[in-house]
């Protein structure tokens, strides 16, 4: 299968990891929960883990690739205070200021 459309996801956080198995048909995510999050990949999409924190979704159908990347991102969206979570490679997260300590 020749891939035409790509979507890269970056996983940020201590202990957060991704693992692809069964020739890119299953995706296991360790996201700080008690159990691993297991996602089955649709037939038109392939998954590659370039590192244990970078996931590449690729395929021929743009809609399906982006839809699956969005479903992976929704497992742990980036939070605005520390920036931990799953985000797109080209996504910029505006960080919020935490609570100020009063004197």
State residue 66 phi and psi, 5-degree precision: -70, -35
Burial letters 2-31, b for 16+ CB under 10 A, else e? eeebebbbbbbbeebebebeeebeebebbb
Global confidence as pTM: 0.87
Distance CA 74, CA 15 (A): 18
In the predicted model, what is the mean pLDDT of residues 61-66?
Answer: 92
Q: pLDDT tens digits for 11-56?
A: 999 999 999 988 878 999 999 889 999 999 998 899 989 888 999 9
């Amino acid at each position: 299968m020749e891939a035409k459309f790509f979507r890269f996801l970056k996983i940020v956080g201590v202990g957060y990891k991704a693992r692809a198995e069964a020739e890119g048909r299953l995706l296991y995510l360790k996201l700080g929960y008690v159990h691993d999050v297991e996602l089955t990949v649709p037939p038109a999409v392939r998954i590659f883990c370039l590192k244990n924190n970078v996931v590449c979704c690729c395929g021929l159908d743009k809609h399906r690739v982006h839809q699956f990347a969005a479903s992976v991102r929704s497992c742990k969206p980036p939070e605005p205070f520390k920036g931990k979570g799953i985000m797109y490679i080209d996504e910029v997260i505006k960080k919020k200021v935490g609570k100020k300590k009063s004197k």
